[in-house]
Amino acid sequence: MIAFLSALALASFQPVALPATVPQDGSGEKNRPRRSWTISADKIYTADGNVVENGFVRVEDGKIRAIGKGAGDAELHVAAITPGLVEAASQISLGPGSVEQDREVTPEFGAEEGIDLFSTDWTRQLKDGVTTTVAIPDDYNVVGGQPVVIKTGGGEPTFEDRVVGTGTLLRGCFGQSPSYNNSPFSGRPFGIFNRRPTTRMGVEWEIRDAFYKAVRSRRDASFTYPGADVLLRVLDGDLPIMIHASASLDIRTAMLFKEEFAIPHLVIEGAAEAMHEPEMLVRCGASVVLPPFSFSGNTGTDGAYMPWNTAEKLRELGVTFALSGTGSSDPDQALALQPAHAMRGGLPFDAALEAVTIVPARMLGVDDRVGSIATGKDADLLLWSGKPFEYTSRIVGVLVSGELAVDPRIGQEL
Amino acid sequence: MLGNHSTSRTSTLARTVDRSRGAALLGAAVLSASLAGHAAASPFQADDTVVIEAGKVVVDPSKTDGSGVIEDGVVVVEGGRVTKVGKRGEVEVPWEAEVVGGPEYTAFPGFVEAYSSRGMDRANEGIDVAPFLDVRDSVDPINVYFQDCLRWGITTVNVQQGSDCVVGGKGRVLKPVGITVDQMTVRPTYGLVLSASPKRGKSRATQAQALRDAFGDLHRYLDEIVADAKDGNDRAKREALFQGRDLEGENGKGRAMKSEADWKVDGLELIPRGAIDEKQAPLLDLVEGRVPAFFHCGSPQDVHLALRVAKDNGFLGRTTLVLDDSCWKAADVIKTAGVPVILTGPLMHTETDPVTGEETETFVAGVFRDAGVPFALSSQDSSTASLWYQAARATGLGLTREQALAAVTSVPANVLGLDADVGTLSTGRLGNVLLLSGDPLASTTWVEHVFVEGHHVYDRSKDPRNKILIEGDDPLDYLSPAK
C-alpha cells in the first residue's frame, strides 16, 4: 500500500521532472524524447525558394530525412511548416559580468564561457519559434569576443546538445554603448578609474588600433598582440565580423572601417538607419541585420529611426539582410512577428521568410545545419495554424533537433 | 501642399480628396482639426451625405454566418447616419450625393475603444475621491493620440481618467474629430472611474477602506442634509446658491432616493437635486444607477472587492470591469456577477513558477470567451498595438475572427450603451466607415480612408506621418515651402 502511494506521488510529480531525459539507467538514448516524426502540411515553405503544397516532412533521429508530396503516413497535420527561426542578434543570458573590463578589444574571448544554458530565456525564445539563437557579449567592449550560436532546446542543456557553432564570427560595437558611462561628462577628471574610450571617435580608434597592431604582428615576429590571430582571420576573410551600429553616423563608420581594412565579411547589426546612405552600403558590400520594427520608428540604439519599408528597400538594392527580435521579452518584438511587420512595409513573403531563417543562419556560419528544410539538416521546424507570419496565425508546434517542444495536438508545451 | 505627393486613386475618390485639401498640413492638430474647420466650406460635408462603395461591405463583423458581409456593396450616409446599405445597383442612391470608394476597398465599421486614458493632459489626480473632476477639462483635441486613432481606424473613444484615484472623475465618449472638446463629444459626462487596485505605495486594505469610505461619506452627507432640512435648515440650498449653482428646473426639485443599494436615505425629496454637493452628486448618480461605472482591477483579488462595493452600493448592473491580464483567474466570479469586462493588459498572461522557473502562459481573452463573459479588447498604446492589431493577434492566439472583431466593434459599443450608434454599419448607425485596403486583420492591410458621421476625415495618401514612418520619406521634405 505504501509502495503504491509513493508510486502515485512520483507519478503526479512527473510533469515537474520533465524533460524526462535524464539518463536513469546509464543508457541515455533510451529515455530521450522521441526524435522521429512524419508531419504533413497544406504548405511547406523550405526557405530555399521552394514551396511544397500538400506535402510532408519526415524526421528521423533529429534530422530531416525526406520531404515529399502527399501525406506520407503523417501522424500530424498542420496548415504550414517553415524552418525554425534563426535569431542573428540576441543578447540574452550574457550579463555585464561576461564582459572583460581590463581591455577594450578582446577578440580571443568566446561567449560560450559566459552563457547560462539553464536560463529560461532559451525556453521563451523556443516557444516563440526561435530554434537557433546567438549569445553575444554585452557591448561594453569595442570588440567583445566571439558569440556562440546555440539551439534553444533539444536534448539536455549541455554544450554537446545545444551548441551549434563557436568561433564562427567576431562581435564589435560602434556608437554610444562601448563608451557609455566610461567617464563623467563633467566633474571628476579622468584618472586611472576611468575606462577608455569616452567618445565615438575613441571607439573607432580602439578598433583601428587593434587591427593595425594585428597587421604589425604579422609583419614583425617580435611584436605580439593578444587576439591578433583572430583579427587576422577577419582580415583574411576566414571570420566574419558583426558590428553593432544603429544610427547613420555609426553605420557610416562601420562602412568606412570595412573599406579601410578591406574586410571581406562585415555584418552591420542593429542597422536601423541602413537606408540613409544606400549607395555607400551597396558599394562596400556589407550585409545587415535590422533591429525590431516599431510603430514609433524608434528602434535599435543611439536614438535611431527605422521606417517600415527599410527591409523592402534593402531587398530592392540587393543588400543581404536579416530581421531580428534582439531576444526582447516584449511580445510585439518577437522575431516571429518581424516578417509580418516587414511585409507591412512592402517586403514580399519569400524574402521575409529567408530573412529570419537561412540568411541569419549563413551570417552565423551555421547554414550547414539549420535555416532551411533540406534533407540532412537538423529537424528544426515550426508548425503553423495558418499562413506563416500573419498576425492572425499562431505557431502551434515547434520541433527542435527532432524533439516536439511545443505539441500542436494540445497547443501547449510538453 | 501635400497635394503634390498624393497619387490619385479612383477618380471619384480624387474628387473627394481635392475638397478636403485643407487637411493636408503637417502637425498633430491638422488631420482631425482642420477638416472640422473646413466643414462649412465644403458642400460635400455640409449636408453630411455620402455614398460609399466597396468591393466588400462588412456590415456586422460579429456575424458568423456570413450574413454580415455584402459583396460589391454600397453604404449611403445621410445626415451623418447610415440610411441604406446593400448591394450596389439594388440600393437607391440619392442622385446628388458624392460617390466615393471603389471595388478595391473593404468598408468596415469604425473600431470602438471601450476605455482609454489617452489624449489628455495628465490622466491622474492625486487625491483619493475626485468625482467632481471631468475629463472635459483635460482632453487635448490636438493630442497626437486622436490623430493616431484615425490612422488605425478608431472612430469612437471612451476617454476616462486614469486609475490612480479611488474614485476618479467623469469621463466622456468622443470621436477623434474636431478642434474643441464639444465638437468631439459623442456623449458628454459619461461614466465614473473607480479603482479597486491599490495605488503605488498603498496597501490593499487602505484602498478597500478608502473605497468603502467614499460611499460611507455619501451616506453620512445625505443623512445630514436631510436632517438639516427636516429641522428647517436649508444649508445645502444656501451653499449652492452662494456658489452660483443652477437651481432652476429639475435641479430645483427634490426627488426620493431610488437605488438598489443596501442602504437608503429617506427624505431626500426635501433636497433640491442641484443643491447636493458637487463631490457627492456624481456618487449619488452612481448609486442611483444613472451613470455607468468603470472599475479598475489590477489583480484577481481586486475583482472581489470591486464587485462587492458595486453590489452593496447598487450599481453592479451598470458596472464594467477594466481588467489587467492576471484577472482571468476571477472569470467565474465575474460570470456570476454578470458584468462585461474590458481587457487592458497583454493578451497573454505569463506566470513564472517560483521554484522551477517554468513559465505558464494563459490567453486571457480565451478564458473570458469560454466563461461566457462579454469582453472588449483595448489598444495597448496609441499606435503599435491599436485595436485592429489586438484583434489580429487575438485571432492568432485562439479567438475566431468574428469573436476578435466583435471585441473591437459591437461589444465595446454595447459596453458603452452605444449599440444603436456604432459598432456596425446597419441602417440607423452613425456613418463611421473605414475604407480598408483589404481584410481588416491582414498584415498588409491599411486604413485608406475614414469617414466619421459621413465626413471624410482621413486619407492615408495625405498622411505625412505615415509617409515618413512607412515609406521612409524625409521629414524635412514636409517642412520645405517649395513642396
The minimum CA-CA distance between B238 and chain A, rounded to whole Å, is: 54
**Among B113, B110, B77, CA closest to B458:** B110
Q: Which set of grid coordinates corresponds to residue B264?
A: 437608503
3 state SS of B361? strand
The minimum CA-CA distance between B276 and chain A, rounded to whole Å, is: 47
Q: By the CB < 8 Å criterion, does A226 face chain B?
A: no
Q: Report pLDDT for A1.
A: 39
The separation between CA A125 and the C-alpha centre of its own chain, rounded to angstroms, equals 11
Q: Report pLDDT for B325.
A: 94
A-chain residues near B396 (CB < 8 A): 385-386, 390-394
Q: Sorting pLDDT into bands at 50, 70 and 90, what band is A186? A: low
d(CA B78, CA B377): 30
User: Which has more pLDDT, B482 or B22?
Assistant: B482
User: Which has more pLDDT, B13 or A71?
Assistant: A71
Question: With pLDDT > 70 as the criterion, what percentage of chain B qualifies?
Answer: 89
Residue from the list B359, B444, B469 with its beta carbon closest to the beta carbon of A120:
B359
> Do B348 and A390 count as a contact with CB atoms less than 8 A apart?
no
User: Which has more pLDDT, A7 or B53?
Assistant: B53
Task: Inform me whether the pLDDT recorded for B285 exceeds 90.
Answer: yes
Q: Which set of grid coordinates corresponds to residue B40?
A: 462649412
Residue from the list B357, B358, B396 with its beta carbon closest to the beta carbon of A393:
B396
Q: Report pLDDT for A412.
A: 43
Q: Report pLDDT for B248.
A: 86
Q: Sorting pLDDT into bands at 50, 70 and 90, what band is A196? A: confident
Model pTM? 0.85
Say if CB B336 and CB B343 are below 8 A apart. no
What are the tens digits of pLDDT across the range B463-473?
988 888 888 88
The minimum CA-CA distance between B468 and chain A, rounded to whole Å, is: 7
A393 to chain B: closest CA residue: B396
**CA B151 → CA B280, B299, B388, B466, distances in Å?**
39, 32, 11, 8
> Do B384 and A391 count as a contact with CB atoms less than 8 A apart?
no
Task: Inform me whether the pLDDT recorded for A213 exceeds 70.
Answer: yes
Which position has the grid cell 542573428?
A: A88
Q: Report pLDDT for A22.
A: 41
**What's the mean per-residue pLDDT of chain A?**
86
Average pLDDT over residues A174-191: 71
d(CA A136, CA A360): 14
Q: Report pLDDT for A11.
A: 38
> Do A390 and B472 count as a contact with CB atoms less than 8 A apart?
no
Average pLDDT over residues B190-205: 90
Across A21-25, A94-98, B128-132, the highest mean pLDDT is recorded for B128-132
Element (H, E) at B412: helix B410-415
What are the tens digits of pLDDT across the range A340-373?
999 999 999 999 999 999 999 999 999 999 999 9
What are the tens digits of pLDDT across the range B221-270?
999 999 999 998 888 888 888 888 888 888 888 899 999 999 999 999 99
Q: Which set of grid coordinates corresponds to residue A114?
A: 559566459
> Do B443 and A340 count as a contact with CB atoms less than 8 A apart?
yes
**Among B187, B140, B194, CA closest to B166:** B194
Is the dihedral angle over the CA atoms B388, B391, B397, B399 positive or is it negative?
Answer: negative
Specify the range with the lowest mean pLDDT, choosing from A148-152, A213-217, B26-30, B264-268: B26-30
Q: Report pLDDT for A12.
A: 36
> Do B398 and A394 count as a contact with CB atoms less than 8 A apart?
yes
Average pLDDT over residues B446-457: 95
d(CA B432, CA B426): 11
> Do A391 and B396 count as a contact with CB atoms less than 8 A apart?
yes
Task: Inform me whether the pLDDT recorded for B64 exceeds 90.
Answer: no
Suggest the residue from A290, A295, A330 to mutate for an interface test with chain B (most B CBs closer than 10 A): A295
The minimum CA-CA distance between A120 and chain B, rounded to whole Å, is: 7
Q: Report pLDDT for B36.
A: 40
Residue from the list A127, A294, A389 with its beta carbon closest to the beta carbon of B384:
A294
First to last CA, chain A: 31
> Do A308 and B470 count as a contact with CB atoms less than 8 A apart?
yes
d(CA A19, CA A403): 11
Task: Inform me whether the pLDDT recorded for B130 exceeds 80.
Answer: yes
Say if CB B325 and CB B363 are below 8 A apart. no
A-chain residues near B385 (CB < 8 A): 332
Q: Report pLDDT for B383.
A: 65
User: Which has more pLDDT, A278 or A413?
Assistant: A278
The minimum CA-CA distance between A16 and chain B, rounded to whole Å, is: 8
User: Which has more pLDDT, A240 or B33?
Assistant: A240
Sequence-distant (≥ 6) Cβ neighbours of residue B32 within 8 angstroms = B141, B146, B147, B150, B176, B177, B178, B179, B457
> Do A392 and B472 count as a contact with CB atoms less than 8 A apart?
no
B437 to chain A: closest CA residue: A344
- Kind of pairing, strands B359-363 and B348-352? antiparallel
What are the tens digits of pLDDT across the range A235-267?
999 999 999 999 999 999 999 999 999 999 999
What are the tens digits of pLDDT across the range A92-118?
555 556 667 778 899 998 888 788 888
Q: Report pLDDT for A326.
A: 87
Q: Sorting pLDDT into bands at 50, 70 and 90, what band is A315? A: very high
Q: By the CB < 8 Å criterion, does A308 face chain B?
A: yes
d(CA A197, CA A183): 9
A17 to chain B: closest CA residue: B356
User: Which has more pLDDT, A10 or B361?
Assistant: B361
B-chain residues near A332 (CB < 8 A): 380, 384-385
User: Which has more pLDDT, A64 or A120?
Assistant: A64
User: Which has more pLDDT, A82 or B6?
Assistant: A82
Element (H, E) at A257: helix A248-261
What are the tens digits of pLDDT across the range A370-401?
999 999 999 999 999 999 999 999 999 999 99
Q: By the CB < 8 Å criterion, does B437 face chain A?
A: no
Q: Sorting pLDDT into bands at 50, 70 and 90, what band is A234? A: very high
The minimum CA-CA distance between B368 and chain A, rounded to whole Å, is: 18
Task: Inform me whether the pLDDT recorded for B32 exceeds 60.
Answer: no
**Chain A from 313 to 342: CB within 8 A of any B CB:** 313, 331-332, 340-341
What DSSP designation does A364 have? Answer: T
d(CA A209, CA B209): 67
Average pLDDT over residues B54-74: 93
> Do A392 and B441 count as a contact with CB atoms less than 8 A apart?
yes
Q: Report pLDDT for B271.
A: 92
> Do A309 and B472 count as a contact with CB atoms less than 8 A apart?
yes
**What's the mean per-residue pLDDT of chain B?**
87
The minimum CA-CA distance between B186 and chain A, rounded to whole Å, is: 28
What are the tens digits of pLDDT across the range B389-406?
999 999 999 999 999 999
B-chain residues near A331 (CB < 8 A): 346-348
Suggest the residue from A294, A392, A398, A413 to mutate for an interface test with chain B (most B CBs closer than 10 A): A392
> Do B472 and A310 count as a contact with CB atoms less than 8 A apart?
yes
Residue from the list B357, B443, B472 with its beta carbon closest to the beta carbon of A313:
B472
Average pLDDT over residues A25-37: 69
3 state SS of B312? helix
A-chain residues near B443 (CB < 8 A): 340-341, 343-344, 389-391
Q: Report pLDDT for A303.
A: 85
Q: By the CB < 8 Å criterion, does A344 face chain B?
A: yes
First to last CA, chain B: 6
Q: Report pLDDT for A379.
A: 96
What are the tens digits of pLDDT across the range B303-362?
999 999 999 999 999 999 999 999 999 999 999 999 999 999 899 999 988 888 778 889
Say if CB A143 and CB A171 are below 8 A apart. yes
Q: Report pLDDT for A98.
A: 63
Q: Report pLDDT for A94.
A: 58
Q: What is the largest CA-CA distance in chain A?
A: 80
**Among B14, B88, B8, B94, CA closest to B48:** B94
Element (H, E) at B426: none
Question: In what side-by-side order are the strands of the sheet with B293-297?
Answer: B167-170, B192-195, B293-297, B319-323, B341-343, B375-377
A339 to chain B: closest CA residue: B443
Sequence-distant (≥ 6) Cβ neighbours of residue A34 within 8 angstroms = A402, A403, A404
d(CA B385, CA B404): 14
B346 to chain A: closest CA residue: A331
3 state SS of B339? coil
